[in-house]
């Protein structure tokens, strides 16, 4: 019934273009010009309303806690039922939520609003039934945006490099003297970050395609699409839908759209961005955010020369691109070039992202377990001249032909693991038939086989080009087992 659903107001906190000067600096007090903090008084429809939250994981639990604090009647559901979920359910029940595990309903069951975790696909019976009934379906990100406080959102999406760029940006914002944090797909759940007391001034927000799919009114101050390559096609239903989800980050004319000149797909999306458009790229003479004469330079926001590339502690063209994107976002917020330089020269990539594990008998062992798709693996392989490649895992509906074709010139040998080993092997037969190939049942065997193929000066690179869940808890566990096996040989 219509009376059972919330009437969504006109979003009084949505920033307008008039509230920002040309380069995207906020008003002097750091708050959006046309709004500010919204709370339950500004959203009375939440108090007493029935809200269905899907998922008891990090984002779902955070959304449930926020809704409970605002007086909503919260029911939480989750398809799983294990020890971790039962513990999370008990904590939410103590706060007043009703929690059901072990399956999802097929209809909203009288809920006025559905807040879904990002892993639930739009084809789920619950989501389609909610849409058919006219019940709003939000993600945690959309909920956070509507309840947001004073912080400016600087948003990052892309197939690869999101986490590294978000961490870079968080370090830059802090170095610039702002109270800031990373949030969204990493760090603090975004719905908790907007509730922080004292409030944050700026948020570095990583957004996945899943999260963006469930947004409606999101208006970051500035946002970037780092790159787009086929990924998560099973969830989105195709490459076009996946790319369109990424492009939602630039939906608002008030958002400064920062696109990658080195990535054709990012440029195609940028052409449709309604707001101010800014380019970053490794070779943009005299324009955008780029590299000139070995230095990161800001030609767009008046920052000039920022830092020498040789002073950065990150390797590879893809890492330079991440630094350029983070710089562009920070300059859009008005962070001083000196603060950007200080943060970037001190920055190191996170675990399982092209991390050197050891050097044994002249062979480097590198963990890039975070390379969970062919696009990421290609960028990783391009950074080394001679590689014994450990690859394979759980494929996400992607092809490996382009990856193998591009990488064959650097491959000393290949060791395959996981359920998609046959698919990668077939691509190797088609495009690199002379490269030695070994199969391994597990990570210990893979490391042993790689050691037999490697020669002094080679790099043994774990860049799986696939997800990990067929053999490991997650990509971090996969990388940890790789490091343990390498250290065992070293010892």
Tell me which CATH code domain 355-490 carries.
3.90.190.20
- Enumerate the domain spans of the chain: 40-135, 143-345, 355-490
- The share of the chain scoring above pLDDT 70, in percent, equals 89
pLDDT band at 84; cut points 50, 70, 90: very high
Confidence of residue 80 (pLDDT cuts 50, 70, 90): very high
Q: Is the pLDDT of residue 232 over 80?
A: no
Q: Which of the residue ranges 4-13, 114-123, 169-178, 240-249 would you say has the lowest mean pLDDT?
A: 4-13
Residue 91 confidence (pLDDT): 97
Q: Is 354 a catalytic residue?
A: no
> What CATH number has the domain spanning 40-135?
3.40.50.720
Is 246 one of the annotated active-site residues of the chain?
Answer: no
318 in active site: no
- Given the residues 232, 318, 352, 375, the one annotated as active site: 232
CATH of domain 143-345: 3.40.1190.10
Look up the pTM and report it: 0.76
pLDDT tens sequence across 315-327? 778 889 999 999 9
pLDDT tens-digit map of 281-300: 999 999 999 999 999 999 99
Is pLDDT at 2 greater than 60 in this prediction? no
Q: Do 170 and 182 form a contact (C-beta atoms < 8 A)?
A: yes
pLDDT band at 92 (very low <50, low <70, confident <90, very high): very high
């Amino acid at each position: 019934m219509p009376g059972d659903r919330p009437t969504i107001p006109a979003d009084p906190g949505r920033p307008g273009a008039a509230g920002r000067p040309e380069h995207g600096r906020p008003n002097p007090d750091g708050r959006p010009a046309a709004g500010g903090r919204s709370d339950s008084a500004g959203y009375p429809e939440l108090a007493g309303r029935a809200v269905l939250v899907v998922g008891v994981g990090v984002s779902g639990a955070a959304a449930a806690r926020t809704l409970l604090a605002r007086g909503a009647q919260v029911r939480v559901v989750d398809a799983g039922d294990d020890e971790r979920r039962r513990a999370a359910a008990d904590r939410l029940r103590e706060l007043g939520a009703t929690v059901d595990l072990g399956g999802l309903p097929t209809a909203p069951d009288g809920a006025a609003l559905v807040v879904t975790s990002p892993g639930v696909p739009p084809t789920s019976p619950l989501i389609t039934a909610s849409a058919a009934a006219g019940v709003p379906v939000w993600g945690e990100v959309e909920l956070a945006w509507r309840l947001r406080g004073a912080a400016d959102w600087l948003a990052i999406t892309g197939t690869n490099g999101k986490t590294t760029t978000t961490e870079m940006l968080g370090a830059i914002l802090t170095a610039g003297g702002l109270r800031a944090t990373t949030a969204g797909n990493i760090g603090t759940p975004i719905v908790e970050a907007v509730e922080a007391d004292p409030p944050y001034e700026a948020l570095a927000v990583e957004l996945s395609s899943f999260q963006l799919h469930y947004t409606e009114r999101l208006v970051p101050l500035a946002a970037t699409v780092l790159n787009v390559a086929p990924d998560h096609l099973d969830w989105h239903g195709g490459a076009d839908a996946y790319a369109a989800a990424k492009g939602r980050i630039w939906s608002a004319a008030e958002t400064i759209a920062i696109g990658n000149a080195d990535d054709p797909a990012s440029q195609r999306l940028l052409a449709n961005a309604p707001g101010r458009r800014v380019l970053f790229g490794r070779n943009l003479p005299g324009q955008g955010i780029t590299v000139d004469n070995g230095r990161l330079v800001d030609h767009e926001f008046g920052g000039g020369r920022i830092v020498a590339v040789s002073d950065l502690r990150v390797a590879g063209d893809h890492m330079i691109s991440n630094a350029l994107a983070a710089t562009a976002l920070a300059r859009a917020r008005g962070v001083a070039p000196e603060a950007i330089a200080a943060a970037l020269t001190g920055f190191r990539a996170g675990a399982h992202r092209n991390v050197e594990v050891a050097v044994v008998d002249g062979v480097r062992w590198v963990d890039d377990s975070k390379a969970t798709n062919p696009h990421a693996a290609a960028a990783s392989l391009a950074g080394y001249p001679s590689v014994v490649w450990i690859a394979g895992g759980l494929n996400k509906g992607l092809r490996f032909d382009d990856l193998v074709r591009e990488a064959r010139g650097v491959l000393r040998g290949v060791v395959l693991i996981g359920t998609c080993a046959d698919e990668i092997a077939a691509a190797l037969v088609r495009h690199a038939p002379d490269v030695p190939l070994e199969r391994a049942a597990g990570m210990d065997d893979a490391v042993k086989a790689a050691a037999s193929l490697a020669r002094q000066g080679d790099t043994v690179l774990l860049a799986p080009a696939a997800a990990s869940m067929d053999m490991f808890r997650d990509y971090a566990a996969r990388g940890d087992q790789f490091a343990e096996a390498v250290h065992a040989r070293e010892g």
